[in-house]
Structure 1
């Protein structure tokens, strides 16, 4: 049996009545944004708005019992899933008040299981959130955008309006509107032990409950690129060819040796032409830096750098803002020790094969290290 969602039922009955979304919103006495949020399933427009739409579309009573789900307790299936996670997870209603939190969420957010506790209110207005979240300004900006979205969908929600007013009194203004903006946002948690665990906030809609959001905090780790290490923990200097023990011949499988002036790489069996080190190292560096420093990794490393600098730890090299920035650092300011560190952290090996169609006559294939 196929069970339609609330959004699908509403869309079908509107189509049957040959009404535009604006006409349904007008009949229901709600905003067009509220109606579209309901029909598209992007947000919960509030209990009153849903009931008004059901009346306006004259949806039969046999469907109404199932559609009037707001405020209903979680079913046993959702509860088992929530408490089966081994990471912090909680389910919140349309005003971001907790419906239920698992053990790990209660440990991360003490009080989150109390009746009426709101994740949105805690992050935007609670002093404890400012103390515990190292990148609080960034997180607050994301959640203020979600607050604006929620108020747009439910402009008469007393709880949401109260949160906005309390946040404004603390000097916060609503961020740029973006659906589920906290989804994927990095959060850096301060602890009494001085550690800074990092998690990603994921916001999803539980199956069959468009009025709810499940918030999960997934542990994340930043890649410890040696070029970004603090001065007091710098690795031993590297003086040899950068690709030593990393480069092999795609024909015979032997490691390529490097040396000479100017430095070149070559295969002992003569399978490949002599390769100029500068050209080959730059080609591989472009691949490695693109792999090692995607946009999200640069963002997380930037947060880590700010935290370390705030604790008085200076870095030998600022974290790159993008792969192109990293390449510029590679060419202009990195030492061979730093370059070698990035290569060995990111690249397990690289294979060079003949490719007459290419200008330089070789093709490269990279085998990446697993990141943890």
Structure 2
């Protein structure tokens, strides 16, 4: 079978910033659109350009890294032509805007997190934690530490743990599905905060694992958040029983980029 040259496959030598970006995503989205339409190949560039009302050369330049000024009408037409979902559309708009219009706080040093700490402590029985825009664990309650002792470690980071720690593979049922979601959130975050060195470092480390690399190369899935996500955990304190949980993610308006996450057992 002839290989579709629009499919995104990246080599071990690629820099993280070369593995994401609008040009990479456009090529992958166009390849997927062609498969969705049953073409057996990527949707032709000329058809995407025509749907947007632009020239084929204009669209070809986009896939080679050019980023001219794109208005909302053009972006909407491009998203429609490539059949993007809501999170993918948001990612397209983020790249066109040069990142998140309301960027996250650059450092939590000097920021009063006491109100958020108190909110976590008001959840005595269910795990709750606070993360930065790069998923560093900034605070957690005692229930979180009892379920997941790794949050006590210096430099604890949710995405790094989920993708690289053997403990995560043991505790997260259907780990490949979680890994795909973590990578999808990384893709979205790298569109929000282009050039962020910590996000690039997490991706670089994760992609040294062959299984993570395979999941990454399978296609550019994008997820903005995991609010309402239901899944199963195997936690030592509950052994031998697994526990089904759901996560709820809140973003405090006064702390741009920070996330409060609460984990609730589905059976109460």
**Normalising to structure 2: TM-score of the pair?**
0.56
Q: Determine the structure 1 residue equivalent to 2:101.
A: 38
Correspondent of 1:123 among 151, 155, 162: 162
> Counterparts of 1:76 and 1:21 in 2: how far apart (Å)?
41
Matched-pair contact (CA < 8 Å) for 2:104–2:258: no
**Normalising to structure 1: TM-score of the pair?**
0.41
Whose relative contact order is higher, 1 or 2, with alpha carbons under 8 Å and at least 6 apart?
2
Deviation string for 1:22-60 (max 9, x for gaps)?
8xxxxxxx954444x234xxxx4573xxxxxxxxxxxxx
Matched-pair contact (CA < 8 Å) for 2:147–2:235: no
Question: Residues 191 and 31 (structure 1 numbering): CA distance in 2 closer, same or farther, change over 3 Å?
Answer: closer
Q: Which runs of 5+ in 1 are unaligned?
A: 1-19, 23-29, 48-68, 222-371
Question: Residues 77 and 46 (structure 1 numbering): CA distance in 2 closer, same or farther, change over 3 Å?
Answer: closer
More strand by proportion, 1 or 2?
Answer: 1
Instruction: Using the TM superposition, give the Cα deviation of residue 155 of structure 1 relative to its aligned residue in structure 2, in angstroms.
Output: 2.4
> Counterparts of 1:220 and 1:191 in 2: how far apart (Å)?
15
Q: Determine the structure 2 residue equivalent to 1:183.
A: 227
Q: Determine the structure 2 residue equivalent to 1:63.
A: none
Matched-pair contact (CA < 8 Å) for 2:117–2:140: no
Question: Residues 206 and 188 (structure 1 numbering): CA distance in 2 closer, same or farther, change over 3 Å?
Answer: same
Question: Residues 188 and 128 (structure 1 numbering): CA distance in 2 closer, same or farther, change over 3 Å?
Answer: same
Where does 1:267-282 land on structure 2 (aligned, <5 Å)?
Answer: none
Where does 1:69-218 land on structure 2 (aligned, <5 Å)?
Answer: 70-86=108-124, 87-170=126-209, 171-172=211-212, 173-174=215-216, 175-180=220-225, 182-192=226-236, 193-218=239-264
- Count of aligned residue pairs for this structure pair: 169
Where does 1:352-363 land on structure 2 (aligned, <5 Å)?
Answer: none
> Counterparts of 1:107 and 1:74 in 2: how far apart (Å)?
25
Where does 1:201-280 land on structure 2 (aligned, <5 Å)?
Answer: 201-221=247-267
Q: 3-state SS of the aligned residue for 1:81?
A: helix
Matched-pair contact (CA < 8 Å) for 2:188–2:223: yes
Q: 3-state SS of the aligned residue for 1:188?
A: strand
Q: Which runs of 5+ in 2 are unaligned?
A: 1-68, 72-93
Question: Residues 133 and 178 (structure 1 numbering): CA distance in 2 closer, same or farther, change over 3 Å?
Answer: closer
Deviation string for 1:151-174 (max 9, x for gaps)?
111222222111112222213244
Matched-pair contact (CA < 8 Å) for 1:38–1:45: no
Q: Determine the structure 1 residue equivalent to 2:61.
A: none
